[in-house]
Amino acid sequence: MKIRGILFDLDGTLIDTIDLIIQAFEHSFAVCLNKKMPRAELVKYFGLPLRSAMENYVDKNQVETLCAVYREFNLKYHDELIKPFPGVKETLSVAAAWNKNGCCYFQKGTNGQTRFAVYGVGNLYRSGYWM
């Protein structure tokens, strides 16, 4: 079988977003609930959609406010707190040298392609697809 392209997820696969997520959760709980949550408690629901994760911590009537504060923090500090995982640039350079189309998935409504390029890897897929 011939490989025609390579699919990558952006957040959590190519770009380390753990510090951003932890700090956004901490900020949200501090602002909305005046509460400090232990890291072990914060990471329990990583991977769930934000709303679903927040529903594990607060009553349903508080979820929207908690999510709004989280998103505001996340957007404000995103570029400052994320970083590529070690070896990402080198791996993508090898894939680009194979002349493979690159496909990078990022959440709808984000500026993932621009943020991906911040780390000098967005240009590696001149013929890439962005979802």
Active-site residue set = 9
Q: How many Å apart are CA 111 and CA 125, to the nearest integer?
A: 17
Contact indicator for 102, 124 with CB cutoff of 8 Å: yes
Angle CA 127–15–66, to nearest 5: 120
Return the bridge partners of 101, or none. Answer: 5
